[in-house]
Structure 1
Amino acid sequence: MTHRIVVLGAGYAGANAAARLAKRLHPADTEITLVNADAEFVERIRMHQLATGQDLKSRPLADVFAGTGVRVRTARVSSIDVDARTVDGILYDTLVYALGSAAAGVPELAYDIAGKQSALRLRERLAALAAGEPVLVAGGGLTGIEAATEIAEARPDLAVTLVVRGDLGGWLSEKARRHLRAAFDRLSITVVENTEVATVGPDHVVTASGHSIAAAVTVWTAGFAVHPLAAATGLTVTATGQIVVDDTMRSISHPEVYAVGDAAFARGATGTPLRMSCASGVPSAHLAADAIAARLTGRPVPPNTIGYTGQCMSLGRRDAILQWVTPDDQPKPSALTGRAAVRMKELICRTAVWSISHPTLLMPVRRRRIVPAATPASVPS
């Protein structure tokens, strides 16, 4: 009997999971369906570039997965029935949940760059600004830093301000922090530290302390939240809605469901929870796909070896920081900066999208047949 695998979401995690499954499993035994709201793959780690007027290459998912055995369905998922094992009427034997995350708590009058449409909306607004108008970025994480520096470099005629809750780059090494501050000085970005934005108006923001800061445009990068669908399914989730999984990315409450990327509350090899990032999404997708294939084909399940090596951030197109970290994501004293870091970050970004654009290339990987005894009971068609 054909084993039906449905993958929800075709971001870095979902697309990699579908591709890896197509590599591992024989097409005569499996039916892999990839469901995504957008017909194209979106390079989410480049949304700050899209928002500042740069164009990204179109990658239709139907073209990407042509000839791989993966069926692409363009649709927005509205319901999952984990008891009947259906997603909007599509039956599954194994489900890979990779619906990712979106910007959290974005005020009505603010913009965000968590997705393609929101980045294009900001792009249109920035293009309409006159010289000297103020732009405020709220949030001092990687997304906020990249957004502020990209805007300041692309539009040096604008007055860019970054508001951060703590210290600028407080999680970085001393070397990386020095370079970051020098880059902000070079780009004439004003930094307001130890401050939280409370409300956003049409031409200003008000901080938690009651201080007003001018802002013709406010870009909100103060955190991400997962899709609310998982919490409504009966799956075991955290208070923030992430699906709780074991060391193989398998739901602790529903063994036929796997979660990868931002949607999963997972731990790496050191036991430290994985952060929301492409650096977590891709390896978690590979692990889930390998675990699924191993269980279906009666082979040993691979161990969880997920760990980090670095955090990279662009500071415009001509500068960057690559902060080396321990496997549990703690900063090391060393960091790569400047043009060398630019080249390294670009290589990482291109490698990530190359793996999506060539899902089953370099395929000496053997497609194995399913062992009937290993196949979970299917829901009748």
Structure 2
Amino acid sequence: MGEPIAQREAHMKVLVVGAGYAGTIAANRLAKRVKTADITVINPRPDFVERVRLHERIAGTGTATTPLTSMLRPGIATRTGTVDKIGDGQVTLGDGTGLDFDHLLLAVGSTAVPLPGTVAAGTWEGAEEARAALAGLPGGGAVTVIGGGLTGIETASEIAYGRPDLRVRLVGQTIAASLSAGARERVRTGLDRLRVEVVTDSVTQIDPGAGEGSGDLVRLGSGAGFSSDLTLWAVIGSVPDLAARSGLEVDPDGRAVVDAYLRSVTDPRIFVVGDCAAVPGSRAACATAMPQGAHAADTLARMMRGRELTPYSMGYVGQGLSLGRRDGLLQAGRRDDTVRRFYVAGGAAAVGKERVCRYAKFSVRTATYTWPRGSK
């Protein structure tokens, strides 16, 4: 049973910190449901970044940004900047400015802490750096992608597809571990077709300039090593420390602890959604961020009208990845995110993955989105 909380709807000040998939759909969904809400979105850049397309941006096969103003509903204000701290009903921006709020949605996502000598492939800043470096590499150069998850696979595949004149390596202790056994084998086949060399090992150190020519030496856990002209870090392993820095209760990984309605257990005025929220059973993905952002907005709208609240519930349907522009894989899954044996691969899967990406952007912009409930 939810808890009815009557609040004054008119002129309610709501701040949304972060304009990724979770924050943007939350802002649009709330604006759609509560016409009188005063909503301001705070984001480090004036663009909405399609994180699922960063590998395309790196390889030069596509783009990943859209002006944020064209993604938000009319009436939603924007503020370009960072939040230094969240206090008691007020945030302090990086420039020292303070903004008051009645409610706040924290959606700062996740980030990467790359190994020294590497460039983070999963962040916008890292993707831009990687794109520029890759564009400057002459034919025959060597690119190494560290990380055997879906981000690493997509990045290595896209570079190999867009720049077939380069030597591309993918390094990971396991490759596509989140997929079924058959799907993992199909991923390896796709990588082979693109001539991506797969190295199942860990990387311990990067020695700048110690490789062949002016390349860096990539040292492996096994003791072996090889030269690399550009080394990308495709591991997402941390979240910004804004929640912890602001005194909110966090889990050992720094994610804010939330209640059944996605509110901070420290301050119920604050909703936390996306990668930075400690929601049991969730994984970092836009398929996670969008339901959480939408549910938080729906819950806040109910709170403003004194209606009964509904606990958050969400089930997964599978995973998808691209292997260049003409190949891909769609893995069927259960609601609890365990995988099934069934998967689709090839050109049809590449088209399917592209449609999923387009649907995600459409849903964020229109706030029209539904999702399956979690398993009981």
Q: State if a TM-score over 0.5 links the two structures.
A: yes
Q: Secondary structure at the match of 1:79?
A: strand
Pick one of 258, 265, 287 that aligns with 1:279.
287
Residue 103 (structure 2) pairs with residue 94 (structure 1):
yes
Secondary structure at the aligned position of 2:130 is classed as: helix
Q: Give the letter for the 2:232 counterpart.
A: V
Question: Equivalent residue for 1:155?
Answer: 163
**Cross-structure match for 1:176:** 183
When the two structures are superposed, what TM-score results if normalisation uses the length of structure 1?
0.88
Distance in 1, Cα, partners of 2:258 & 2:125: 30
Answering whether residue 91 of structure 2 is matched by residue 78 of structure 1, we say no
* Mapped contact 2:170–2:196 kept (Cα < 8 A): yes
Whether the 8 Å contact between 2:61 and 2:162 is mirrored in structure 1 is: no
Distance 1:114 1:187 in 2: 21
- Paired residue for 1:4? 13
- Report the alpha carbon displacement of residue 118 of structure 1 after superposing the two structures with TM: 1.6
Match of 2:325? 317
- In structure 2, stretches of 5+ residues that fail to align are 1-9, 209-215, 370-376
Taking the aligned partners of 1:19 and 1:347, their CA distance within structure 2 comes to 21
Contact 1:290 1:301 in 2 (8 A): no
Matched-pair contact (CA < 8 Å) for 1:139–1:223: no
Structure 1 unaligned spans of 5+: 268-272, 363-381
User: What do residues 304-353 of structure 1 show as CA deviations (whole Å, max 9, x unaligned)?
Assistant: 22110011010000011111111111110101111111111111100111
Question: Residue type of the partner of 1:322?
Answer: L
Where does residue 23 of structure 2 map in the other structure? 14
Deviations 1:37-88 (A, max 9, x none): 1101111110000001134275222233252x2111111222221x243343
CA distance in 1, matches of 2:255, 2:263: 13
Query: Is the partner of 1:334 in helix, strand or coil?
Result: strand
Shift of 1:300: 2.2
Report the equivalent of 1:246: 259
For 1:183 and 1:33, locate their aligned partners in 2 and report how far apart those are by CA, in whole Å: 44
The 3 A distance-change label for structure 1 pair 46 and 58 is: closer
1:204 aligns with 2:226: no
Deviation of the 1:288 alpha carbon: 0.8
Deviation at 1:259, TM superposition (A): 0.3
Aligned residue runs from structure 1 range 335-374, under 5 A: 335-359=343-367
Q: Is the 8 A contact 1:65 1:72 kept in 2?
A: no
1:171: Cα distance to partner?
2.9
1:261 aligns with 2:245: no
Partner Cα distance (1:141, 1:257) in 2: 32
Q: Secondary structure of 2:49's partner?
A: coil
Give the alignment's Cα RMSD to 1 decimal: 1.7
Residues 325, 73 of structure 1: alpha-carbon distance in 2 compared, 3 angstrom cutoff: same
How far apart are the structure 2 equivalents of 1:340 and 1:57? 22
What secondary structure, in the 3-state scheme, does the structure 1 residue paired with 2:310 have?
coil
- Give the Cα–Cα distance (whole angstroms) in 1 for the partners of residues 207 and 71 of structure 2: 42
Task: State the match for 1:39 in structure 2.
Answer: 46
| Aligned partner of residue 15 in structure 2, secondary structure | strand
Q: Matches of 1:145 and 1:353 in 2, distance apart?
A: 22
Partner residue of 1:374? none
Letter in 2 for 1:157: D
- 1:119 is aligned to 2:124: no
Deviation string for 1:356-379 (max 9, x for gaps)?
3345x89xxxxxxxxxxxxxxxxx
Aligned residues: 349
Task: State the alpha-carbon separation in 1 of the partners of residues 333 and 230 from structure 2.
Answer: 34
Is the CA contact (8 Å cut-off) linking 1:235 and 1:243 kept in structure 2? yes
SS in 1 for 2:260: coil
Residue type matched to 1:74 in 2? T
Asked if 1:329 is matched to 2:334, the reply is no
Deviates further, 195-204 or 11-20: 195-204
Do the aligned partners of residues 84 and 247 (structure 1) sit closer, same or farther apart at CA in structure 2, a change above 3 Å counting?
closer
Paired residue type of 2:332: W
Q: Percent identity over the alignment? A: 39
Give the direction of change, closer, same or farther, for the CA distance of 1:57–1:179 in structure 2 (3 Å limit): closer
Distance 1:55 1:343, change over 3 A: closer
Could you tell me how far 1:222 is from its partner in structure 2? Answer: 2.4
